[in-house]
Chain A
Amino acid sequence: MEFEDLKKIWDTQNNEPMYAINETALHQRIHQHKNKTGWLAHVNEIGMMFIATVTGGFLLIDAIRDQESAYSYVGGLAFLVIGVFVFFSRRQRKRSENRFDQSMLAELDQAIKNAGYLVTFAKTFMWWFLLPAAIFSFPNLALNNASWEKYLLVLGAFVLSYLVVTWELRRVHLPRKRKLESLRDKLIGDREFS
């Protein structure tokens, strides 16, 4: 067969629809998804902004009211700065997401950029949130003569957070980024048929 014959075979399906759509079920599913889409992607940012701002606010209020040590002032400010940083990063990401792109390659590039952002975000969380939080928490515990149970509890929370973020990074964000990059390579590259 020549290619024109293949095209004729292809065009036969235009005469009659291949499937019947259950429109009620479709509209229900779209309705369920349309308000939910994006929520999972944003939950990390919103959660981190909320935790950083509230923690920073409490630490600063405490420090001012009780004339606490410099640790509390610096810790509170550090958390607020992290909250502001996340806010601006998120705003920048949302702007780039809403940009109108014409081609599939441009959209794929945007998806890779977003996946890269989530990788950076997870790493930022570990080094610029967990680590400073740990650094400021332990001296405060020492200054307040906290019991060993409290030390264990705080340490456990940090270790757990670290493990969850590392897992998410290795199992979700990095593989997704690699797959998108591989798809991009396929889109750009040429291959010979055997």
Chain B
Amino acid sequence: MKESEQQHIFNTWLSQYKALLFKVVRAYAFTEFDRDDLFQEITIQVWHSIPKFRHESAASTWLYRVSLNTAMRWSMKEKKHSDGRESIEGLPSAHPLLLQEQATHNDEKLAWLYTEIALLSEVERSLTLLLLDGFSYKEMAEMVGLTETNIGVKIHRIKKHLTTQSKKYEHYGV
């Protein structure tokens, strides 16, 4: 594949599916620095994945798979660094930040939902994102590599947990 072609696909994907990438970033990274780092990591992996894309699935499915996989692994290696990284947040960085949070995007309920998602394990977070974005069990099973039954069990527990938490949220009126 020619680099110009790869660049064209990358730009198209980034423009069409940036919301998808942002969701993954917000679910896995919790400081400005970490979000920037994870977004960079995901976009690099997306770039490298383009020649492997065989159009056997929708681009959004492919991007979810690449970005969730990257986020899960990033999250695994970042745990030990998070304390140190947080302490340098706010200091001028050698590189300009990639992501600038939009001031208009400040929904309290959505923030609560992301907090609940953040409390799940790396794997459960992935499944929750896919579930909330309307993927079927079959699609999730193909994407993750588990059986539909196994996915069903996990999803049932996640749904139950989230609805229980939402009732507490409503009850205490947070």
A179 touches B77 (CB 8 A): yes
CA distance A12 to B109 in the complex (A): 10
B144 touches A16 (CB 8 A): no
A149 at interface by CB-CB < 8 Å: no
B154 at interface by CB-CB < 8 Å: yes
Which A100-117 residues sit within 8 Å CB-CB of chain B?
100, 102-108, 111
Chain A residues touching B, majority SS? helix
B81 at interface by CB-CB < 8 Å: no
B2 at interface by CB-CB < 8 Å: no
CA distance A17 to B23 in the complex (A): 10
B132 touches A111 (CB 8 A): no
Q: Nearest Cβ in chain A — how far from B61, in angstroms?
A: 10
A34 touches B157 (CB 8 A): no
Q: How large is the interface on A (under 10, 10 to 19, 20 to 34, 35 or more residues)?
A: 35 or more
A152 at interface by CB-CB < 8 Å: no
* Binary interface encoding of chain A residues 170-194 relative to chain B, with 1 for a CB under 8 A from any of its CBs, else 0: 0000001001101100111011110
B44 touches A22 (CB 8 A): no
B101 touches A18 (CB 8 A): yes
B69 at interface by CB-CB < 8 Å: yes
Report chain B residues within 8 Å CB of A100. Answer: 52, 54
B138 at interface by CB-CB < 8 Å: no
Q: Nearest Cβ in chain A — how far from B137, in angstroms?
A: 14
A188 touches B146 (CB 8 A): yes
B95 touches A6 (CB 8 A): no
- The closest CB in chain B to the CB of A192 belongs to B157
Q: Nearest Cβ in chain B — how far from A193, in angstroms?
A: 4
Q: Would you give 30 A-B contacts (Cβ < 8 Å), ordered by A?
A: A3-B162, A6-B113, A10-B110, A17-B22, A18-B19, A19-B22, A20-B100, A21-B18, A21-B98, A22-B99, A23-B14, A26-B43, A29-B43, A29-B44, A30-B44, A37-B44, A37-B48, A102-B57, A102-B143, A102-B145, A103-B145, A104-B69, A104-B144, A105-B145, A106-B145, A176-B77, A179-B77, A183-B123, A186-B122, A188-B150
